[in-house]
């Protein structure tokens, strides 16, 4: 029997953590997220692609916490807006915008 391994989801989003826990149920992993480790600096998502940002978040979490880490990045890519907002989706309506503002 394999011993479970800690896997850090490089997010503070409880919904995302729960979804990944569900997807990985049955595997020998203990899913944790950034909230499980106390204060950790936010990673600046300044990559040119979603993959760049996900890699940056996962590698940062793995390096500072010493556990394997998984991250994602996503957003809206609208063809008639030439791909905007793309990697800027979360901040497209402004830094302190609510979800309602963004819509």
- CB-based contact 89:75 (threshold 8 Å): yes
Report the C-alpha gap between 60 and 96 in whole angstroms: 24
Q: Which of 73, 82, 99, 101 is catalytic?
A: 73
Report the C-alpha gap between 89 and 39 in whole angstroms: 25
Element (H, E) at 56: helix 50-65
Nearest Cα to Cα of residue 45 among 101, 99, 97, 86: 86
Helix (H, G, I), strand (E, B) or coil at 49: coil
> Has 99 been annotated as catalytic?
no
Q: Which residues are catalytic?
A: 73
């Amino acid at each position: 029997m394999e011993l479970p391994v800690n896997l850090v989801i490089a997010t503070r989003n409880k919904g995302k953590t729960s979804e990944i826990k569900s997807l990985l149920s049955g595997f020998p992993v203990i899913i944790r997220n950034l909230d499980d480790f106390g204060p950790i600096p936010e990673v600046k998502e300044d990559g040119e692609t979603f993959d760049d940002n996900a890699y940056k978040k996962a590698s940062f979490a793995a390096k500072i916490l010493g556990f394997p880490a998984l991250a994602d990045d996503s957003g809206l890519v609208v063809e008639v807006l030439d791909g905007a907002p793309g990697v800027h989706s979360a901040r497209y309506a402004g830094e302190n915008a609510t979800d309602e503002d963004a819509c």
